[in-house]
Amino acid sequence: MCGIVGYIGKKEAFPIIIKGLQRLEYRGYDSAGVALLNGDLNVYKKQGKVSALKEYVQDKDVSANVGIGHTRWATHGEPNDVNAHPHVSNSGKFAMIHNGIIENYAALKTDLEKKGYTFQSETDTEVFINFIEDIFLNTKVDLAEAVRLALNKVIGAYAIAIISLEDPNLMIAARKGSPLVVGLGKEEFFLASDATPIIEYTNEVVYLDDREIAIIKDGKLTIKNVEDVEMKPYVQTVDIELEAIEKAGYDHFMLKEIFEQPKSIGDCLRGRLNAKEGHLHLGGINDYVNKISNADRILIVACGTSWHAGLVAEYIFEEYCRIPVEVEYASEFRYRNPIVGEKDVVIAISQSGETADTLAAIELAKSKGATILGVCNVVGASIPRTSHAGSYTHAGPEIGVASTKAFTAQISVLTMMALMLAHKKGSLTESEYRKLLVELEAVPDKVAKCLDLNAQIEIISEKFKDAANFLYLGRGYNFPVALEGALKLKEISYIHAEGYPAAEMKHGPIALIDENMPVVFIATKDSSYEKIVSNIQEVKARKGKVIAIVTEGDTDIAGMADYTVEVPAAHESLMPLISVIPLQLLSYHIAVMRGCNVDQPRNLAKSVTVE
């Protein structure tokens, strides 16, 4: 959530910052603003989209070689022009942008008000920059030292960037709990919440670690921690093509990312899986295979769509590895006193690698001696750096807020992880193992066949775009898919939808079924097939409208359901990678038909980096 962009160099800063903010729109926001240094400190900010900010500054002076920009997702104070970032100190000398939450801002504000400070906004950020100014004025230290001293006093999460009217060759940035990356150019530097605004200009970056401060002054970068110890910058090369963060002719990023899944799953498998040779290797966990194989249990912690991928993994790990698995909401795990030991393995799943609750959960588990494995998409993110080991999904940038290709990539990695462990343990026979490798290698082509159903699903979507509620039902491996299908629909179309295990329908949800209730069944042929056929009949007996995802050639359910969508046959444990595709398309088309902002649904952020 929120987005930071900064530039200091010889180019015009404003076009770079505005383009960067547009690249960060996927993170979710409700206002935008910039602060520019050109002899004066000019601050322009506006509620609404970056486009509103661009229109607002058309007759303003935006010339500058130094500037910072921000897209805000409201926490303290409603979305409006005043609460938008950047915020300026009382003297007018310092400007700050900030992602995160300062938990002790109220106490700091009270102390500052007693000293005569006044505040225009309701934000914790305005308190933060004035707290820094107060230290600067009263301790007679330079600005970088004032920032460091302030960071030792504030409580909470932050990614900040600060510029100074008195020192236009200076930019200061710091992070704790919210991501921040420094791009290294030729006689220029860039700041951003992630690499997407930077890659157009440089592929060399430094990811700041928690409690680190970046000081860019007179064309040089210095990194210190809050204990005032200088750190050696670790320069990484970002492997993202500019085309990967463009729409490439699609109407929305979400649709593009749905259609990228044959490639993203293939990229996830490539170099790791060779079914012909019976080869499967995940280098990221190779040194921990024995420890995982001998674990007392596996704990999976995640949020949202990643939690649903974890539920699929629970079925796979328990079936093939015969290791007990528990799947936890990271937000709940961190706030109870969980029983975690040294023989537990914790798998943390996060597309961004920055999810605040998941980070806190793994820190808790790590403190109790557990082994932490990360499954993430973004290279250099916090969770991979905090974990003992893990695997990247290699799905490529996912810009749409509603996750699609990240979900299937996560399941692909977790499936490979489980099969690798099962083979090591001997809990799968060699023939079963090789059969599953062949089946897994075939998944990208089967996903491509599912995408050919797009026109059919668009027609079905037209029939149900005005529904007020949906039920999604599945059994076994397809139960988490039902949850994910319901989440996608509610996220982007704002239709109330719930997912359930199909057998639970009779324990409450069946009371809702009438002629106005669409019910989506994931009813592919598997060990629960006969049971789910009975569930469909129960819904039809109550005049419910049935949309069924079925295996190709299934004529039995076609005779009962109002609409059927046929997907390629696949091994039961791999079916979630196939059956989820029509549900993603269904939610997409319904949302478009309802006039919803598919890529930036209301109130949602791509990466939840604060509680």
Low-confidence ranges of the chain (pLDDT < 70): 1, 241-245, 605-611
- CA atoms of 28 and 50, how far apart (whole Å): 11
pLDDT for position 241: 67
264-441 domain in CATH 3.40.50.10490?
Answer: yes
Q: Residues 49, 224, 256, 606: which is the catalytic one?
A: 606
DSSP code string of 246-311: S-TT-SSHHHHHHHTHHHHHHHHHTTTEETTTTEE--GGGGGGHHHHHT-SEEEEEE-HHHHHHHH
CATH of domain 450-597: 3.40.50.10490
Name the catalytic one among 2, 268, 303, 596. Answer: 2
- State the pLDDT at residue 379: 81
Identify the burial level of 466 via C-beta atoms within 10 angstroms of its C-beta, where 0-12 means exposed, 13-18 middle and 19 or more buried: exposed
**339: how many CB neighbours lie within 10 A of its CB?**
7
Specify whether the CB–CB gap between 373 and 347 falls below 8 A. Answer: yes
CATH code linked to domain 3-243: 3.60.20.10
> Six-digit token pair at 556?
């039995």
pTM for this model (two decimals): 0.83
Neighbours of 122 (CB within 10 A): 15
Q: Where are the alpha helices (DSSP H) in 83-198?
A: 105-114, 124-139, 143-151
Which residue has 């596996």 as its token pair? Answer: 298
Number of H helices, E strands in the chain: 19, 27
Asked whether 473 and 522 are in contact (CB, 8 A), the reply is yes
Per-residue pLDDT tens over the stretch 30-42: 899 999 999 999 9
- Which pair of tokens denotes residue 507? 């324990």
Q: Where are the domains of the chain?
A: 3-243, 264-441, 450-597
Percent of the chain as helix, strand, coil, to the nearest 5: 40, 25, 35
264-441 and 450-597 in the same fold: yes
- What's the pLDDT score for residue 14? 97
Each residue's pLDDT tens digit, 237-294: 887 766 666 777 889 999 999 999 999 999 999 999 999 999 999 988 989 999 999 9
Active-site residue 606, yes or no? yes
268 is catalytic: no
What pLDDT is recorded for position 361? 93
Question: Widest CA span of the chain, in angstroms?
Answer: 81
